[in-house]
Structure 1
Amino acid sequence: MAKLSDELSRTLAEAGEGLKALQEEVIEAGFDPDDPASVQAAIKHVETVIDAKVARFRGNALVREAADQIKAECRANILAQVEAASTRRGTRTLH
């Protein structure tokens, strides 16, 4: 029983470190909203930075889940910015 408790304590301590590392990371990614390749490169950049930040916690399911959720949120934010840029370029009354 003590072995399971030790394992759980280690997993939770590791998760705390991994979550803190994610929380402290500031990721910036520039992209051209009119260029799909640029948008995909920005998404890939963000995912790569996140993966690198939590690489040492690879075996921790809690950290992996948090990293996946953050990657999904970043991807959604980038795509929302692309959509917003597209909306601003829409049809406008010129006179």
Structure 2
Amino acid sequence: MTRILEEASAGLKALEEEVIRTQFDPDDPASVQAAIDHVEHTIDAKIAPFRGNRLVEEAAEQIKAECRANILQQVADHDTDRGSRTLH
């Protein structure tokens, strides 16, 4: 049990320290999906040494979901801003 918790601590720290940057065109669904894929692959690579540790894998899935939601929110905000710009 101690080993699992120590491994989880190291895995969670690795996730916490990871900074992921990505760019995408909010008007291009393929670009948006590529950004999501990039984020998810980066997270998966970061936790690869901790595969099998349920705590790390659950945290990684939660972070991926939050990042995906953040990207999609940026797309939605872009669409909203586009329709409400002042034109004069």
Q: Normalising to structure 2: TM-score of the pair?
A: 0.95
Larger Rg: 1
Within a 5 Å distance, the mapping from 1:40-79 to structure 2 comes to: 40-79=33-72
* Cα distance in 2, alignment partners of residues 94 and 81 from structure 1: 22
* Cα distance in 2, alignment partners of residues 9 and 37 from structure 1: 44
What is the percent sequence identity of the aligned residues?
72
Within a 5 Å distance, the mapping from 1:1-95 to structure 2 comes to: 8-92=1-85, 94=87
* TM-aligned CA deviation for residue 53 of structure 1: 0.2
The gaps in structure 2 that reach 5 residues or longer are none
* Cα distance in 1, alignment partners of residues 40 and 23 from structure 2: 14
* TM-aligned CA deviation for residue 94 of structure 1: 3.8
Q: RMSD in angstroms over aligned alpha carbons?
A: 1.1
* Cα distance in 1, alignment partners of residues 71 and 64 from structure 2: 11
- Count of residues in Structure 1 that have an aligned counterpart in Structure 2: 88
Moved over 3 A (4+): 91-95
